[in-house]
Amino acid sequence: MQQSPIAELRARLRLPLIAAPMFLVSGVALVSAACVHGVIGAFPTVNCRTPEELDGWLREIESRTSRSSDASGVAAAPVCPNLIVHRSNMRLQDDLAVLLRHRPELVITSVGSPAPVIAPLHDAGALVLADVASLRHAERAVEAGADGLVLLTAGAGGQTGWLNPFAFVRAVRRFFAGPIVLAGGISDGVALRAAEMLGCDLAYMGTKFIATHESMADARYKAMLVESSADDVLLTSAVTGLPTSMLRPSLLAAGLDPDNLPARGAIEIGNDIDIDARAARPKRWRDVWSAGHSTSGVTDILSVAALIDRTTDEYHGGKQVF
């Protein structure tokens, strides 16, 4: 009997894990290292300044991962570009054209319906995973033809979901038998095994990959994650206009009061006449940093290889975690 595409994919992975696509964090070095060490490496295409740079990134990642495959005899894990499909992404069609030339095995769609990109991506041989934050969004993504779903749950970093992961996964499993990826709260291999028991095929790990040597994050950001815990994560709409998990210490460092934030989406938004004043305002993502509830699991800054080794040990029970 022929294996399903997701079963074939999992057979190539060291862990059923995706290094989550993170804005201004996931770059060539992080993604390549994740793939080489047996974890799916994902990144938002908008991390590249232009479609031409996106083409260059994909070529470089393909080069690095193919060299690894040749040396070890084992194919690297897939790279997984993340397309922002919201109408505000004016580069969507250009970025899509680049992906179609490179024919990735997996693509994640975010912030909108995957319907406009599913047919061309399928024609190029890609499986499409749509991220969703509600049951209705999940139903619509399935109806549109998505191959799998990324469930954004309470505790995920960045623009997050609000549903409890236990309830969300089990509710989706009532109507969808395809691949499910759990996003939110995966801080170690024990949590990853729990996600599988819950009914997930894969899971995101994001916050811990921010604090790796290969990530593009500012060194201060990485250090802040080591020093912070889940109690330092604040859910607010003030930064992006949507519910987003942000680090309290970064809000304080940017001169903002976490307990008295401006109106929804007000940070960096305004019509200052004074150019210097406008430039000095804190910028979302650049100066105000995000993290998920798994921040409590970030205890040191590691290489991607060391993080995956540690997570693999936890996953297989080599380290007892109470």
Residue 296 has pLDDT above 50, yes or no: yes
pLDDT at res. 318: 60
Do residues 200 and 169 lie in contact, with contact meaning Cβ atoms separated by under 8 Å?
A: yes
pLDDT averaged over every residue in the chain: 89
Our CA dihedral for 93, 32, 180, 309, rounded to 10 degrees, sits at -170
pLDDT at res. 237: 87
pLDDT at res. 66: 87
Lateral strand order in the sheet of 158-159: 158-159, 244-247, 233-236
Q: Full-prediction pTM beyond 0.75?
A: yes
CATH code matching the domain that covers 5-216+296-315, chosen among 2.102.10.10, 3.40.50.720, 3.20.20.70, 3.30.465.10: 3.20.20.70
pLDDT at res. 75: 79
pLDDT at res. 200: 97
Residue 320 has pLDDT above 90, yes or no: no
Q: Give residue-wise pLDDT tens across range 105-164.
A: 999 999 999 999 999 999 999 999 999 999 999 999 999 999 999 999 999 998 888 999
What is the C-alpha to C-alpha distance for residues 258 and 216, in angstroms, rounded to an integer? 25
Residue 201 has pLDDT above 60, yes or no: yes
Give me the residue spans of the domains in the chain: 5-216+296-315, 229-280
Q: Give residue-wise pLDDT tens across range 60-79.
A: 999 999 866 544 556 799 99
Question: In the chain, pLDDT over 90 holds for what percent of residues?
Answer: 75
Residue 28 has pLDDT above 90, yes or no: yes
pLDDT at res. 2: 52
Question: In the chain, pLDDT over 70 holds for what percent of residues?
Answer: 88
Sign of CA dihedral 183, 187, 188, 191: negative
pLDDT at res. 187: 93
pLDDT at res. 68: 61
- pLDDT confidence bin for 10, thresholds 50/70/90: confident
- pLDDT confidence bin for 241, thresholds 50/70/90: confident
pLDDT at res. 29: 98
Do residues 160 and 138 lie in contact, with contact meaning Cβ atoms separated by under 8 Å?
A: no
Nearest to 206 by CA among 30, 64, 4, 53: 30
The larger pLDDT score, comparing residue 266 to residue 31, is at 31
- Of the listed ranges 8-12, 26-30, 187-191, the one predicted with least confidence: 8-12
pLDDT at res. 190: 96
The larger pLDDT score, comparing residue 268 to residue 304, is at 304
Residues near 13 by Cβ (< 8 Å), separated by ≥ 6? 38, 39, 40, 77
Phi first, then psi: give them for residue 245, nearest 5 degrees: -85, 115
What are 271's two structure tokens? 């019509």
Cα Rg for the chain, rounded, in angstroms? Answer: 19
Residue 185 has pLDDT above 50, yes or no: yes
Which residues partner with 41 through β-bridges?
Answer: 19, 79
Q: Give residue-wise pLDDT tens across range 247-294.
A: 999 999 988 889 988 776 665 533 333 333 333 445 655 778 999 999
